[in-house]
């Protein structure tokens, strides 16, 4: 097993700054914007982007937290149910431009579940997707509107995102697991 | 070495910094609270919180249990428990079949195990069961591959009621540690009291039971190894002193044929929870009742509908707690 750090704390900060600028550029009317972070690490990322928007434009944008457990397509094949976190959407999603925020985009299945969850709450004007890392291997026709870093990876690798709020440090690492160890 | 799997990998659990359900939850059935750890109860209550959020939506439905079949099998009458389970299952998009004693082949002499076998052959994933005999769900759990939820068995246990009571108290007080909970009424015949005593003491509350000695279960007044320690105070005014929570039980009139009470009027006089008696409890005390309420017998109407009463809330929370249990039980795999 080897561990390679690809983003240091400074890189994470700069990347989030750039993504925030892109979001502001794309969404002229910030009043209709809401950031929704996906549990677990999407939530702090969304909060930081909202803080950035307030810094840059002076506008407070509502931030929500979304748990997708109820909408997963693999519940029937799991041995035990995932722990559900609280979904907290502070404003109505109707007619709002929503930016979903997650740490890693991989197969796209979580994003599909998140879109279903959001649409169950109402009819957003649009849903956009912001991710810190896009590692490829999509299984559904989904792409991100805002990407921090494209990181083509092998399935034998794991992308590990750490954030100050959840893990004590901002850092992204690639961990390669030799195929033998994947079995168990 | 094991590493945390990537979150999007469809074969693996969500990556979280919290422990996964695997390490906390070990139940295939919900039979009684005596085999629940503090962590497991907390997991149920936390999950119920997320279900409460679903219940607050304009469309109270999530697709989580699509394709699962849940059967409610009631050998005793019930309104709130059965409806509560049915709504819980429907909110999670499961298919629900309701059976009650009058419509069952048991009236034609079919045994419990045969009935359950049939339900399983018909594809039931979870069977919610109420039975007049203590222990019946345990037999069912032994013979069935489906998960069993005990919705009340005889005098023994009613774990989902106790869990919703715990949830309701936590919603108001945040925590149960050190709270004084008084249970007043027919403890002997009450499965709600038994389950609550297990749950409350596991959560760190101090339980006092208050009833005439004839309605006290045999042996409760002695030190027990297999049952949690409770205080006994037959005088209602002394029992209520400084209480944080007052649970009133229904006087089970149908079980009072054995001469355990000299008269109903005496019971009302000595044990009814009235406004003046309630003043002995803490100012912010909660009044609870598992229902159905005999107003004017175990509780006076002004208390049952008064500002301290959370009886209606208990019913609402019941749906959220039962959704949480159905969710936690319905795992796939195998």
Lowest mean pLDDT among A52-56, B230-234, B252-256, B275-279: B252-256
CA B120 and chain centroid, separation:
24
Other Cβ atoms within 10 Å of A182 Cβ, number = 12
Mean pLDDT value of segment B12-32: 61
Q: Are residues B99 and B76 in the same domain?
A: yes
Q: Are residues B144 and B242 in the same domain?
A: no
**Given pLDDT bands bounded at 50, 70 and 90, which one contains residue A77?**
confident
Q: Are residues B31 and B152 in the same domain?
A: yes
Residue-range definition of the domain harbouring residue A106: 10-72+85-154
- Please check the confidence at residue B263 and state whether its pLDDT lies above 90: no
Other Cβ atoms within 10 Å of A10 Cβ, number = 9
Of A78, A108, A120, the CB nearest to B331: A78
Of B47, B57, B63, the CB nearest to A84: B47
B181 part of a folded domain: yes
d(CA A161, CA A153): 14
DSSP letter for each residue of chain A: -EEEEEE-HHHHHHHHHHHHHHHHHH-S-GGGEEEEEETTTHHHHHHHHHHHHHHHH-----EEEE--GGG-S-GGG-SSPPPPPPPB--S--TT-EEEEEEEEESSSHHHHHHHHHHHHT---SEEEEEEEEE----SSS---SEEEEE----TTEEEEEE-HHHHSS-EEEEEE--HHHH--
A49 part of a folded domain: yes
B334 part of a folded domain: no
Q: Are residues B134 and B201 in the same domain?
A: no
Active site residue B130: yes
Q: How many CA atoms lie within 13 A of A104 on its CB side?
A: 27
Q: Are residues B100 and B183 in the same domain?
A: no
pLDDT digit string, tens, across residues B283-332: 999 999 998 999 999 999 999 999 999 999 999 999 999 999 999 998 65
Q: Are residues B87 and B133 in the same domain?
A: yes
A77 part of a folded domain: no
Q: Which residues of A touch B57 (CB under 8 A)?
A: 120-121
CATH number of the domain at A35, please.
3.40.50.2020
Q: What is the structure's pLDDT at A179? A: 65
Q: What is the structure's pLDDT at B260? A: 85
Torsion, CA A133, CA A139, CA A140, CA A144, rounded to 10: 10
d(CA B314, CA B164): 7
B228 part of a folded domain: yes
Specify whether the CB–CB gap between A97 and A34 falls below 8 A: yes
The catalytically annotated residue of B130, B156, B180, B189 is B130
Mean pLDDT value of segment A55-63: 96
What pTM, to 2 d.p., does this model score?
0.89
Active site residue B108: yes
Active site residue B90: no
Q: Which residues of B touch A107 (CB under 8 A)?
A: 8-10
B15 part of a folded domain: no
Q: What is the structure's pLDDT at B182? A: 97
With a pLDDT cut of 70, the percent of chain A lying above it is 96
pLDDT digit string, tens, across residues B110-119: 888 888 988 8
Q: Are residues B110 and B72 in the same domain?
A: yes
**Given pLDDT bands bounded at 50, 70 and 90, which one contains residue B23?**
low
Beta bridge partners of B30: B149
With a pLDDT cut of 70, the percent of chain B lying above it is 90
Residue B284: exposure state from Cβ atoms within 10 A (0-12, 13-18, ≥19): exposed
Of A74, A103, A116, the CB nearest to B10: A74
Q: Which of A78, A81, A132 to probe by mutation at the B interface, max B CB count within 10 Å?
A: A81
B14 part of a folded domain: no
pLDDT digit string, tens, across residues B101-151: 777 766 677 888 888 988 889 899 999 999 999 999 999 999 888 999 999
Q: What is the structure's pLDDT at B289? A: 97
Q: Which residues of B touch A67 (CB under 8 A)?
A: 50
B223 or B62, higher pLDDT? B62
Lowest mean pLDDT among A53-57, A178-182, B195-199: A178-182
Q: What is the structure's pLDDT at A181? A: 55
Mean pLDDT value of segment A11-38: 96
Maximum mean pLDDT: which of A75-89, A122-136, B222-236: A122-136
Q: What is the 3-state secondary structure (H, E, C) of B16-70?
A: CCCCCHHHHCCCCCECCHHHCCHHHHHHHHHHHHHHHHHHCCCCCCCCCCCCCEE
A136 part of a folded domain: yes
Q: Are residues B154 and B164 in the same domain?
A: no
B8 part of a folded domain: no
A15 part of a folded domain: yes
Q: Which residues of A touch B330 (CB under 8 A)?
A: 75, 81
Residues on A contacting B at a C-beta cutoff of 8 Å? 1, 39-40, 67, 69-71, 73-88, 103-110, 116, 120-121, 135, 139, 158-160, 166-167, 175, 177, 181, 184
A67 part of a folded domain: yes
B215 part of a folded domain: yes
Mean pLDDT of chain B: 88
Specify whether the CB–CB gap between A55 and A17 falls below 8 A: no
Q: What is the structure's pLDDT at B18? A: 36
- Please check the confidence at residue B8 and state whether its pLDDT lies above 50: no
Q: Using CA of residue B292, residue B296, residue B300, residue B305, what is the dihedral sign?
A: positive
Q: Are residues B87 and B48 in the same domain?
A: yes
Mean pLDDT value of segment A121-149: 96
The DSSP call for residue B273 is B
B8:A110 CB<8 A:
yes
- Please check the confidence at residue B20 and state whether its pLDDT lies above 80: no
Residue-range definition of the domain harbouring residue B104: 21-158+317-329
**Given pLDDT bands bounded at 50, 70 and 90, which one contains residue B15?**
very low
pLDDT digit string, tens, across residues B216-256: 988 787 777 778 889 999 999 999 999 999 999 999 877 77
Element (H, E) at B232: strand B231-232
Total domains in chain A come to: 1
- Please check the confidence at residue B209 and state whether its pLDDT lies above 70: yes
Active site residue B57: no
Active site residue B29: no
Q: What is the structure's pLDDT at B252? A: 82
B333 or B90, higher pLDDT? B90
ipTM: 0.84
A92 part of a folded domain: yes
Total domains in chain B come to: 2
A130 part of a folded domain: yes
A179 part of a folded domain: no
In 3D, which of B99, B8, B13, B88 has the Cα closest to residue B54?
Answer: B88
Mean pLDDT value of segment B152-164: 96
Q: Which of A2, A45, A76, A80 to probe by mutation at the B interface, max B CB count within 10 Å?
A: A80
Q: Are residues B250 and B296 in the same domain?
A: yes
A104:B8 CB<8 A:
yes
Q: What is the structure's pLDDT at B25? A: 83
Q: What is the structure's pLDDT at B332? A: 52
Q: What is the structure's pLDDT at B71? A: 95
Q: Are residues B303 and B165 in the same domain?
A: yes
B9 part of a folded domain: no
Q: Are residues B25 and B147 in the same domain?
A: yes
A144 or A28, higher pLDDT? A144
Q: Which of B44, B63, B147, B329 to probe by mutation at the A interface, max A CB count within 10 Å?
A: B63
Other Cβ atoms within 10 Å of A60 Cβ, number = 12
The catalytically annotated residue of B27, B60, B80, B282 is B80
A156 or B7, higher pLDDT? A156
Q: What is the structure's pLDDT at A1? A: 67
**Given pLDDT bands bounded at 50, 70 and 90, which one contains residue B82?**
very high
Q: What is the structure's pLDDT at B14? A: 35
A73 or A105, higher pLDDT? A105
A79:B54 CB<8 A:
no
Q: What is the structure's pLDDT at A61? A: 96
Q: What is the structure's pLDDT at B6? A: 43
Other Cβ atoms within 10 Å of B314 Cβ, number = 23
């Amino acid at each position: 097993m080897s561990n390679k750090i690809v983003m240091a704390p400074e890189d994470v900060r700069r990347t989030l700054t750039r993504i925030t600028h892109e979001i502001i550029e794309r969404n002229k009317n910030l009043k209709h914007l809401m950031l929704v972070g996906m549990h677990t690490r999407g939530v702090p990322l969304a909060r930081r982007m909202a803080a950035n928007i307030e810094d840059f434009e002076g506008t407070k944008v509502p931030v929500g937290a979304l748990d997708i457990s109820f909408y997963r397509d693999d519940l029937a094949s799991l041995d035990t149910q995932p722990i559900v976190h609280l979904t907290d959407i502070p404003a109505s999603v109707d007619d709002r431009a929503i930016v979903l925020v997650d740490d890693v985009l991989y197969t796209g299945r979580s994003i599909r579940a998140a879109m279903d969850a959001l649409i169950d709450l109402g009819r957003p004007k649009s849903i956009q997707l912001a991710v810190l890392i896009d590692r490829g291997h999509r299984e559904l026709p989904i792409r991100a509107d805002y990407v921090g870093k494209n990181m083509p990876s092998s399935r034998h690798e794991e992308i590990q995102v750490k954030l100050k709020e959840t893990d004590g440090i901002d850092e992204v690492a690639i961990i390669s697991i030799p195929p033998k160890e994947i079995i168990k | 070495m094991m590493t945390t799997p990537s979150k999007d990998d469809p074969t693996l659990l969500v990556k979280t910094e919290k422990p996964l359900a695997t390490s906390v939850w070990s139940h295939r059935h919900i039979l009684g609270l005596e085999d629940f750890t503090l962590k497991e109860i907390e997991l149920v209550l936390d999950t119920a919180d997320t279900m409460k959020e679903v219940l607050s939506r304009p469309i109270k439905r999530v697709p989580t249990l699509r394709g699962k079949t849940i059967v409610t099998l009631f050998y005793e009458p019930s309104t709130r428990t059965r409806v509560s389970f049915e709504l819980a299952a429907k909110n999670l998009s499961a298919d629900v079949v309701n059976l009650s004693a009058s419509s069952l082949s048991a009236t034609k002499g079919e045994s419990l195990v045969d009935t359950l076998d049939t339900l399983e052959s018909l594809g039931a994933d979870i069977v919610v069961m109420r039975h007049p005999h203590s222990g019946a769900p345990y037999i069912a759990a032994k013979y069935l591959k489906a998960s069993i939820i005990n919705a009340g068995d005889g005098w023994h246990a009613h774990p989902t009621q106790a869990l919703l009571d715990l949830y309701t108290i936590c919603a108001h007080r945040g925590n149960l540690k050190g709270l004084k909970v008084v249970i007043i009424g027919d403890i002997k015949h009450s499965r709600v009291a038994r389950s609550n005593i297990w749950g409350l003491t596991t959560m760190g509350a101090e339980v006092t039971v208050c009833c005439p000695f004839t309605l006290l279960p045999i042996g409760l007044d002695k030190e027990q190894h297999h049952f949690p320690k409770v205080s006994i105070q037959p005088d209602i005014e002394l029992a209520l002193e400084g209480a944080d929570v007052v649970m009133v039980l229904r006087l089970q009139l149908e079980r009072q044929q054995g001469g355990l009470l000299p008269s109903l009027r005496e019971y009302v006089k000595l044990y009814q929870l009235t406004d003046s008696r309630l003043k002995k409890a803490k100012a912010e005390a909660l009044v609870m009742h598992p229902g159905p309420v005999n107003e004017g017998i175990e509780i006076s109407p002004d208390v049952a509908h008064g500002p301290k009463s959370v009886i209606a809330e208990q019913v609402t929370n019941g749906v959220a707690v039962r959704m949480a249990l159905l969710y936690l039980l319905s795992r796939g795999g195998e």
